[in-house]
Amino acid sequence: MNPIFKVLICIISGYLIGTINPSYIMGRINGIDIRKKGSGNAGASNALIMFGKIAGVFCALFDIFKAVIAIYLTSSIFFPSFKLSFVITGVSTILGHMFPFYMKFKGGKGLASLGGVVLAFDWRVFLILLSIEIVIVLISDYICFVPLSASVAFPIIYGIMEKDIISSLIFLLMTVAIFYKHIENLSRIRNGTELHFSYLWNKDKELERMNENDAPLDTNITKK
């Protein structure tokens, strides 16, 4: 098959699978647009805020494994001899999650799907990065530092381990997109209005802090 068609199939497959957003679907089932509630993000972290821990974990696992499945389809079934299928599909899946066409290109922020790409690459790298990111989030108390740092680290790790500078450069498209998606988070951190990770175990105190900083967190679900 022509390499151009392989690239197109990898892009389309990854993007379409990436657009499947369980947190958004869960919100619609409950009569809300999750992007207008909680933290305003169509991702697992906001599903946790709005619907509880089980929903949050489900959405995170779904977003992780949709990337794993997309990469498996193109890299192992469709084009096992096409080396770029991994990186093209991986990046496309993340971008599909972040910019889904049916959500007017306003989707999630890519953390879990990035985790799925890392997991599909090497489970040992996934565990090492996960351990490092856990330390980062506990020290900083901000979850947004996890995708930002991971999106920088993984292209470097992949390029070194695979000795493939071209793939690393392709992965930088993902890095730029993730940084773009987190501009508002960085601005809120500067203003003191970004939600702390410690919300998970100190909800009342964090809600009080947010209200004091004129950044109320809307966690109410209004049924239609």
pTM: 0.90
Structural domain contains residue 206: yes
pLDDT per position as a tens digit, 162-201: 999 999 999 999 999 999 999 998 998 888 888 788 877 7
Structural domain contains residue 221: no
Structural domain contains residue 223: no
Angle at 11 between CA 100 and CA 24, to 5 degrees: 20
Structural domain contains residue 159: yes
For the chain, what is the domain count?
Answer: 1
pLDDT per position as a tens digit, 23-66: 999 999 999 999 998 878 899 988 988 898 899 999 999 999 99
Structural domain contains residue 224: no
Structural domain contains residue 37: yes
pLDDT at 176: 96
Evaluate whether 129 touches 117 at the Cβ level (below 8 Å): no
Find the largest Cα–Cα distance for the chain.
Answer: 60
Examine the pLDDT at 224 and tell me if it is beyond 60: no
Helix (H, G, I), strand (E, B) or coil at 84: coil
Structural domain contains residue 222: no
Residue-range definition of the domain harbouring residue 25: 3-212
Average pLDDT over residues 69-78: 96
Structural domain contains residue 64: yes
Q: What span, in angstroms and rounded, lies between the C-alpha atoms of 141 and 10?
A: 36
Q: What span, in angstroms and rounded, lies between the C-alpha atoms of 141 and 39?
A: 15
